Amino acid sequence: MADNSVPTQAGAFELQFQRMAGQIRCAMPGNISSFDPATQRCSVVPGIKLKTVAGNKVSYLNLPEIQNVPIVIPYAQSAGVLLTLPIKAGDPCLLVFSDRAIDNFVQKGDAQIPGSVTSEDTTTPRQHHLSDAICIPGFISDPNVVPEWHEENIEIRDFDRKHFISLGPDGITISDSEATWNMKGGKVKLDAPSGIEETSEGPITQATSAPQTIAGSNIAIGGGSGVYEIDKALKSREGTFIDKDNVNLNAHVHTNVQPGPSNTGEPQK
């Protein structure tokens, strides 16, 4: 190992350059130690140790935890649409260090000249500093590669892909690992093994020019004192119509029937 404590002139220049370059921060991985959802700022522990060499002695030092770090998420601010993430302590991230201090932009949201600086060419002497870190959540390391990565679709999903929203050439699919909703080619298909519940305070309208089929062993329509109206003919293909008094409306008979012009009596139960 080279002895940097006694360098040549060229070596001294190279060593000085390396020391200066070693102070320039560009980007490095890290782990989020805390996140404040109110301010959207986090604290991050850098994921790389600082190597120091003194003679033949090599040491590795922990970089300090960086406080009050702003985050970057997909955000179209002018359109008012964005994607939020449940950021937690321990989540990996990528730290990017700005060329210049970010204080004014973070506080004002655009380019500002600091009050202590009069020149428009310079905002601050601070460059590539740890204090000017920006956090991008979601750094993927080898032990945490995402399983079942879909190569064609954009997805919002959990790690194991048990719950996901998938958008791609084959349409849109939403699943919670049991129920699945799919929209493709103008057709919507819903598979819900545990049932479908629909609640509305307003009217529900379904309009179609195609025949509708409802298949089930028991279909009930009820609620309140409303009147149920059917505009077209109502037919029974195999079963019969039975009223609330258990009267078979297809084959019932009437009581007190006498020949003549009078109406019949009530249906016989």
pLDDT of residue 3: 53
Domain ranges in the chain are: 9-144, 154-191
pLDDT average, residue stretch 42-59: 88
Confidence band (pLDDT; 50, 70, 90) for 39? very high
The pLDDT > 70 percentage for the chain reads 83
Which of 34-38, 40-44, 263-267 bottoms out in mean pLDDT, i.e. has the lowest?
263-267
Q: Cα(first)–Cα(last) distance of the chain, in Å?
A: 106
- How far is 216 from 218, CA to CA, in rounded Å? 6
Q: What's the rounded Cα separation, in Å, for the pair 214 and 221?
A: 13
Q: 3-state SS of the chain: helix, strand, coil percent to 5? A: 10, 30, 65
Q: Looking at the domain that runs over 9-144, which CATH code has it been given? A: 2.40.50.230
- Residues 87 and 37: their CA atoms lie apart, in Å, by 8
pLDDT at 1: 45
Q: What are the C-alpha distances in Å from 206 to residues 123, 190, 210?
A: 62, 16, 11
Q: Does the predicted TM-score (pTM) go above 0.85? A: no
Give which of 190, 156, 150 is closest to 170, Cα–Cα. Answer: 150
Residue 143 — φ and ψ, nearest 5°?
A: -70, -10
pLDDT of 117 above 60: no
